[in-house]
């Protein structure tokens, strides 16, 4: 089968590798769509460690083979994949917090990912896609899952005011998740015109450019912001904006992958008694996994999400061009996906 590899920053090549075989409790999935994530662009540009194998973690496809003991899935089932693989037996996994598993593997970084024809995964990390949801839409489950988990972890209450910093895919998904979670008003700070348009279409009440963030801070004095969701990461200085915008006693949730340690305005965090939380990926809260919530949202809103977010599609053999397009936002790109 074919699989892509990044041997050095800025370079991607497709190579022939053996097709995986499922062990007990595993499935092999024929990849149909795999999106390029903002974190993928970090390592592509040399800002993070390179993947040890095939990258790609925003994956949808269909089950090709099921290993011994797998009863929840069968060949031909359409599935969306979580981007992690946990041990399944430690205290965190048993509690549903499998994203905190000490032995967790990160798909597309520490274990083989989805920029390939096939991927092997534990069946428990694969979720059956509802009827009517196509593969391009199903691949949005992973970034939407990140946002849903963050909103649940932050404890958003009905009617609260939310500020989302950044309007890449995760930021836009945070708008959707905040709306689904009962936010009374959602404000967004965005850089690109296509991001602003998408944010408004997906439920933001107001969007301002990143050079106009001061207006949001002034507005926050009149109408306090309960929850700030930071999705930019990289080398951004967004923590200053987040802390300034949050109301006393408010919450800041960090979703952006910072590639250096940002300056932390600790005195203001202390004085305002802010709660600052990190949110990694997704897990399970009680009877429903974050992905269960996500796939229900995609069943109802997925077509509009895909229409607004999936701007470019490339075949696997054109992955180098796909990454160049995803890196260059002047192309109008939001979500670039590799489609089989």
The Cβ of residue 161 has, within 10 Å, a number of other Cβ atoms equal to: 22
pLDDT digits (tens, 9 = 90+) for 27-77: 999 999 999 999 999 999 999 999 999 999 999 999 999 999 999 999 999
Sign of CA dihedral 82, 83, 88, 94: negative
Q: What is the pTM of this model?
A: 0.95
Map tokens 């032995």 to a residue.
103
Q: Tell which residue, 316, 312, 304, has the closest CA to residue 335.
A: 312
Tokens read off for 157: 């209450």
Tokens read off for 149: 């988990």
What 3-state class would DSSP assign to 29? strand
| Average pLDDT in the chain | 95
Report how far residue 336's alpha carbon sits from residue 340's, in angstroms, rounded to the nearest whole number: 13
pLDDT digits (tens, 9 = 90+) for 218-238: 676 677 899 999 999 998 889
pLDDT digits (tens, 9 = 90+) for 257-293: 998 898 899 999 999 999 999 999 999 988 899 999 9
């Amino acid at each position: 089968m074919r699989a892509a590899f990044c041997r050095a920053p800025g370079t991607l090549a497709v190579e022939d590798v053996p097709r995986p075989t499922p062990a007990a409790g595993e499935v092999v999935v024929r990849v149909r769509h795999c999106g390029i994530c903002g974190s993928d662009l970090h390592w592509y540009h040399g800002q993070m460690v390179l993947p040890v194998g095939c990258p790609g973690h925003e994956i949808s496809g269909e089950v090709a083979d099921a290993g011994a003991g797998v009863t929840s899935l069968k060949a031909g089932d359409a599935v969306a994949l979580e981007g992690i693989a946990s041990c399944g037996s430690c205290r965190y996994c048993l509690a549903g917090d499998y994203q905190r598993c000490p032995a967790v593997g990160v798909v597309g970084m520490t274990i083989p990912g989805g920029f390939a024809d096939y991927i092997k995964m534990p069946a428990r990390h694969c979720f059956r896609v509802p009827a009517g949801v196509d593969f391009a839409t199903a691949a949005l489950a992973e970034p939407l899952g990140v946002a849903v988990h963050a909103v649940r972890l932050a404890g958003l209450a009905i009617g609260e005011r939310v500020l989302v910093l950044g309007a890449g895919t995760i930021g836009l998904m945070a708008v959707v998740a905040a709306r689904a979670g009962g936010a009374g008003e959602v404000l967004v700070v965005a850089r690109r015109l296509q991001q602003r348009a998408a944010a408004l279409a997906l439920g933001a009440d107001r969007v301002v450019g990143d050079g106009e963030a001061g207006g949001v801070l002034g507005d926050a004095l009149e109408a306090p912001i309960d929850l700030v969701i930071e999705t930019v990461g990289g080398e951004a200085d967004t923590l200053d904006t987040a802390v300034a915008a949050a109301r006393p006693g408010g919450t800041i949730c960090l979703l952006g992958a910072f590639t250096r340690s940002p300056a932390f305005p600790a005195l203001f965090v202390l004085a305002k008694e802010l709660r600052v939380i990190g949110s990694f990926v997704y897990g399970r809260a009680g009877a429903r996994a974050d992905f269960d919530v996500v796939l229900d949202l995609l069943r109802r809103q997925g077509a509009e999400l895909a229409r607004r977010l999936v701007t470019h599609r490339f075949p696997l053999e054109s992955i180098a061009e796909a990454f160049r397009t995803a890196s260059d936002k002047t192309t109008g790109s939001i979500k670039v996906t590799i489609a089989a």
